[in-house]
Structure 1
Amino acid sequence: MKQIFRLLTIAFIGFLVISCEKDEDQAVINETATGKISSDKSTIVLNELTANDAVINFTWTRPTFNIAVVPSQQIEFGLKGDSFKKSATIDFSNDVTQGSATHAAVNAVMFNIGATPDVVNEVEARLKTSVGSAAFYSNVIAIKVTPYTPNPDLIYPKINVPGAYAGAAGYANWTPANSPNLFSPEKNDNYRGFIWISNATGDNGKYKFTINQDWPGNKGDDGTKTGKLAADGADIVPAAAGTFYMKVDWAANTYSSVLANFGVIGDATPTGWGSDTDFVYNPATKTYVINSIMLTSSGLFKFRANDDWALKIQPKNADEALVSGKAVQTYFNAENTVTGDHGYKVSDAGNYKIELDLHNSAYYKLTVTKL
């Protein structure tokens, strides 16, 4: 009995020792001095032409702590009045007390926090020092920032679609770094977009999917030809030549492709609502073009695929009057970005060139130019 009691006592003492050790490991980290930040400018105008040049310089003193730590450092940005609820950061090395940010870096941050391009935004910035999961913040400084509309090719995630078809489309055959891409407007694992394949016979139209513009991690058909992907899978063969709307769920390993050959139709066009005038793909510009068509100022025109109304390129939520030579963002109804069934119009009758840029699903672009 004494032996059992002795063993229980030893076990209890051991438990107390371990508990004390755990408490010691979880020592509370406290600031003994708060960080402080300043910048050399309070107003900046961002410029895409000088994207890689420094636009603002920050200087700061690092916070100090009651125990020795190796923290990480970031400058955190948020819109004024938002209390950094939606924020974005620029990283800096943990051993520096000053650093600059480029036009491109700040513009990317502005996009991520919801700043409005081409107007002055009231922005706040602070030093964020992280020690494990704990974050410590400096004073807040105010900056007036005028961002530019970011290049959608640079800010949205993408996968590549290399294949034997790509050279004819204005890219390079079987070259992930020089191939059409599918983008993720929602910045998740779902990618989509339009791919033009001029020849589907034999090996001419085959393709696969890659990521990071390289072959490691590539995916192809799993061999069942049922829309399932497999790592290093088989080349995918298109059903026909033409433009395909492709969707890929990278995480779920699924893909789909639907033929979508677009044309223009409407009572503003020479053939009215009776028939379409088809677009032609231009490999040099990687856009879909109607080089010359008469448009009246009294009617509307719309863009539809496959001489049918299921797939349409159209304005977001109202009929839109187009200005000659000015590109506008346009939308694809199958992506649930369109409200209603609206069309386009021009204010002056005449011959027009119509150009559809569908290379990036995050920003489809339409331009009409009077000839």
Structure 2
Amino acid sequence: MKKHIYLFVFICAGILQSCKKDIELTMLQAVAFSTPLTADQTSVNLSEANDTTAVITFSWPAVSYPIKASVSYTLEVAVPADTIGSAAWTKATSVPIGNDVLSKSYKGKDLNDLALLMGIASGATGELVFRLKAEQDRGTYSNPVTVMVTPYVARVIYPLLYIPGDFQGWAPATAPTAAALQPGIYEAYIYIPAGGTNYFKMTSARDWNHINYGDAGEGKISVAGDAAGLLAAESGYIQVAVNLNSNTWSATKITWSILGDATSGGWDSDTQLTYDPAAQVWTVTADMLATGSFKFRANNAWIIDFGVNEEGKLAYANSPVYGYNSAVSNITVPSSGNYTITLDLHDPSKYNFKLKKND
């Protein structure tokens, strides 16, 4: 009987040893990405224009594990200095992708936020290194991919003010808006037809139940409900400005022209634009030279004028409301010819212009 017990113990021990050996062999089986992690861009220049569109897409193959179950993927992002040495990748930012997902696209705003978070300065170009981690019963990593990224700082959007007045029936619900490019400093361009009183106010909401800004005298604003209206000295196209930091306001009649050596008048003679009240735009048709440049300027003087910023968008070079900006450049046309030029300032959050070459 004793002999049989020993034999049974020996056989069981052999079976357990065999099972343990099989498990160890399974766990040690090599797991890896069959092809590299790839990105469809090697460099990305970010701006507000591509905030909501996909700017880069990463793709990878499915990793096969011995156990047939879902595989979790995580994208890791680091700056190059944090991908080498004994602490390599320990400071990486992890971006969960999900189970069995084989690609990741970044919209402009998301990549911009990531780049700023990783320490790349606005307007500067820096390197981000991406790698993918696949994980099930153990993890494995892809090759690293380096992408050059240039982030930007998004313009802060401040609350709007509204401009009801005699010119539109004193209706805040349908009033034009004023926007702030700097904290507390609001501006808008409104059209006041002849024949009215030229009075208006500003409100903080599309009703009369919140803050109303009226005239306190001597260029100052009042928030008293019974304050007099603000008065434009003339009817026509008016630049309205309110500075809530200094409690001051102004209303200035404006006409627009173009000036520069891209125009027939050169830098000595303005080419006037014409206002269309129905379309709320200023236009001119003129022969333009690609060898020169021009700016939009108000009232034939270098007090208020527009050029373009580094993104090619309309921006103030000179403004009594916002000051002088030396970074603003002159505007050019892509090729010489006859153009219809449009200046659109009806939405203070989206000042813009168009250049249309005529056949």
Give the TM-score category using the shorter length: 0.5 to 0.7
Deviations 1:150-202 (A, max 9, x none): 998x9432111111224xxxxxx42223222111223x3222x2323343544
Q: 1:271 aligns to what SS in structure 2?
A: coil
Which letter does structure 1 place at the counterpart of 2:162? Answer: N
Q: Distance in 2 between matches of 1:107 and 1:185?
A: 24
- Checking the alignment, whether the CA contact within 8 Å between 1:161 and 1:182 is kept in structure 2 is yes
Instruction: Show the counterpart of 1:368.
Output: 355
Instruction: Show the counterpart of 1:257.
Output: 251
Q: 1:347 aligns to what SS in structure 2?
A: coil
Which letter does structure 1 place at the counterpart of 2:307? Answer: Q
Q: Distance in 1 between matches of 2:181 and 2:216?
A: 29
Instruction: Show the counterpart of 1:162.
Output: 164
Q: Does 1:293 align with 2:293?
A: no
Q: Distance in 2 between matches of 1:156 and 1:240?
A: 29
Task: State, as a whole percentage, how many aligned pairs show the same letter.
Answer: 26
The 3 A distance-change label for structure 1 pair 305 and 108 is: same
State the shift of 1:261 in Å: 1.9
Which letter does structure 2 place at the counterpart of 1:236? Answer: L
Pick the aligned partner of 1:277 from 271, 274, 279: 271
Q: RMSD of the alignment, in Å?
A: 4.5
Which letter does structure 2 place at the counterpart of 1:164? Answer: D
Q: Distance in 2 between matches of 1:195 and 1:358?
A: 7
Q: 1:264 aligns to what SS in structure 2?
A: strand
Pick the aligned partner of 2:262 from 257, 261, 268: 268
Q: Distance in 1 between matches of 2:276 and 2:154?
A: 21
Larger Rg: 2
The 3 A distance-change label for structure 1 pair 200 and 293 is: same
The 3 A distance-change label for structure 1 pair 345 and 227 is: same
TM-score by length of 2: 0.52
- Checking the alignment, whether the CA contact within 8 Å between 1:266 and 1:300 is kept in structure 2 is yes
Which letter does structure 1 place at the counterpart of 2:339? Answer: Y
Pick the aligned partner of 2:184 from 183, 189, 196: 189
Aligned length: 238
Deviations 1:44-97 (A, max 9, x none): xx9859xxxxxxxxxxxxxxxxxxxxxxxxxxxxx988xxxxxxxxxxxxxxxx
Q: Does 1:329 align with 2:319?
A: no
Q: 1:165 aligns to what SS in structure 2?
A: helix
Deviations 1:241-268 (A, max 9, x none): 2333332133653322233322112222
TM-score by length of 1: 0.51
Return 5+ residue gaps in structure 1 as ranges.
Answer: 1-42, 50-78, 82-102, 123-145, 167-172, 321-326
Farther off after superposition, 219-228 or 351-360: 219-228
- Checking the alignment, whether the CA contact within 8 Å between 1:249 and 1:255 is kept in structure 2 is yes
Q: Distance in 2 between matches of 1:184 and 1:108?
A: 23
State the shift of 1:352 in Å: 0.9
